[in-house]
Structure 1
Amino acid sequence: MHISNKCSLAIHCLIFIHEYGTANKVTSELLSLSTGCNPVTIRNILSALKKDGILDVKSGTGGATLVMKPENITLYQICMAVEPDALDKVVGVHSAPSPFCPVGRNICSVLDDTYEKLKEDMAVSMKAITLDKILADYHNTLKNNS
């Protein structure tokens, strides 16, 4: 189980928009080239980020810009914008345990509290990581790889 790549694609797009959006018109086609992902997928991600108030996307000629400051955008907000059930995908019980088996019949009840605690802890951790921190990591990586 894992979070799909939508979250990492969204972060990729946000870094690109932050780094190049003031000097260039950042479109889904341009982001598609950078991410290696279909422009339609990118447009869906941008739409979700816009709906959550993170981005502004000009219709027609295009061009995405950050609406919020990077220090006010959390990893949690990004992931929940593009994949609202992300934490359930990370921590979830298999879908078809046997109702005829004592373990299968009770496994959901057994794991409910434990998994809710894990999801809460993960949400707290994700809320502590901002786009600003991710951008700093990006800049450090650039510096170390040059």
Structure 2
Amino acid sequence: MDTKFSVALHILTMISESKESLSSQALATSVGTNSSYIRKVIALLKNAGLISSHQGKTGYQLSKSPKEMTLLEIYYSTQEIKHIRLFPVHQNSNPDCPVGKHIQGAVSPLFASAESQLEKELANQTLEDVIDNLYKQVKQKRN
């Protein structure tokens, strides 16, 4: 299972909300992974223009405000293909079988519709929504 998207959300939230500069090791400790994986995700975020860093300084900055950063653009920054493909259809169905011959055409429109709805939903949500949810979680745990 690919977790780069959720790790990217974790990293971006920490960068946004931390008062101090965070190293890849500090981010890795929070995420619960190794710093080389964090550096890979950070490289993807930098390539997408979502964060920046300065040579010789520890830490990262968001390139725009959390309310301007959609979850869809964050998702795309972590993926090789700029299209949501959650439900790939299996290949090599038996063309001599009535189901095998037509299953791809039968399920593909349904999958495409669901993936399109997810893209719309992610486009309407921002990093600020994630941060707001984080603070709601913190508040609930205190009560």
TM-score normalised by L of structure 2? 0.88
Amino acid across the alignment from 1:36: G
Q: Any idea what the Cα deviations from partners look like across 1:55-114, whole Å, max 9, x if unmatched?
A: 1123444311111110111111111111244721x2221233223322222222222222
Report what 1:16 is aligned to.
14
Question: Where does residue 63 of structure 2 map in the other structure?
Answer: 67
Runs (5+) with no aligned partner, structure 2: none
* Unmatched runs of 5 consecutive residues or more in structure 1: none
Partner of 1:28: 24
Which residue does the alignment assign to 1:77? 73
State the one-letter code of the partner of 1:134. Answer: V
What is the aligned-residue identity percentage? 25
C-alpha distance in structure 2 between counterparts of 1:73 and 1:124, whole Å: 14
Question: Size of the alignment, in residue pairs?
Answer: 141
Structure 1: 4+ residue segments shifted above 4 A: none
8 Å Cα contact 1:91-1:118 kept in structure 2: no
Question: Deviation at 1:50?
Answer: 1.2
What RMSD over aligned residues (CA atoms) do the two structures have, in Å?
Answer: 1.8
Q: Say if 2:119 is the partner of 1:123.
A: yes
User: Is residue 87 of structure 1 aligned with residue 84 of structure 2?
Assistant: yes
